Each structure stands twice: as structure tokens, then as C-alpha cells.
Structure 1
Amino acid sequence: MEESRESPADHGFYMPAEWEPHAQTWIGWPERQDNWRHNALPAQRVFVDVAKAISVFEPVTVCASSAQGNSFQRRLELLR
């Protein structure tokens, strides 16, 4: 395999600013107990509120582990 000396910017890629227009928002579902207090339940409530607010303007995709399936699905219903 040959190593490229070109950067992603050389191919037209860039990191857009948060205020630039975009098609949708992706967020990661909080669940790791080593990162979130109280089994992440308070954070999950806030993430639902944030996703709900954003979904008024654009689609929201939430990335969650399969272990969070039931918990996430119940809260996801609040977005519909």
C-alpha cells in the first residue's frame, strides 16, 4: 500500500463550523456509567429535550448501543 502525502483538505474535505447549514444532526446517546452519573438517566432526559428541540428544524439521528434499546426506544417516542 502506498502512503499518500495529500491531506483531506487537498481533496476538498473540511470541518464545517457549527453554524454552517447542514442536512441533519447526529448525537451520541449517553449511557457509559464511567462518564455519566446516576446511570446517565439525568443526561438522557436532557438529550431527549435537545433532540426534540433540534427535530423541529431538521432530522436528528441518535446513535445508541443495542444494550440501550428499550430505554432509548421509550424516550424516542417522545420525539414523535
Structure 2
Amino acid sequence: MLRKLSKQLNGEDWMWNNLNNLCWAIGSILGSMMEEQENRFLVMVIRDLLNLCEITKGKDNKAIITINIM
């Protein structure tokens, strides 16, 4: 999942649908890890999504990223 998120960050796999699917998948595994491990994972994901929002151009793209953060 982190590899797929990395592809979103570098623009290799950037598409709204890909990001939505990835974020849904990340949300679906919550509760399947030890709490500390899950917290570290979520912090990494949220940081990457915030970084993606900063580097992405366009209000629509930023809105999609923000929705997926929530």
C-alpha cells in the first residue's frame, strides 16, 4: 500500500480513482495491526497525502486528496 501511495506522490500512477481505491483499502485494514504499528502506518499515510496535496496543482485534485484524507 505504501508503494502504491509512493506512485501517487511521484505522479507515476496519479488518477483520482486510483487514489480513492487506495484510501478505501487503507481504511479497510484498520484494526488488523497492533495499535502502535497502525498508528505509525497512519501517520506515514497522512503525511504522504498532505505532501501530495501540497505538490498537486488544481483545486479539483486538491479536493479529491483532501476528501481521501478524511
Q: Return the structure number with greater helix share.
A: 2
TM-score clears 0.5: no
Place the TM-score, normalised by the shorter chain, in its bin. Answer: 0.3 to 0.5
Structure (1 or 2) with the larger CA radius of gyration: 1
Higher relative CO (Cα under 8 Å, sequence separation at least 6) belongs to: 2
TM-score by length of 1: 0.38
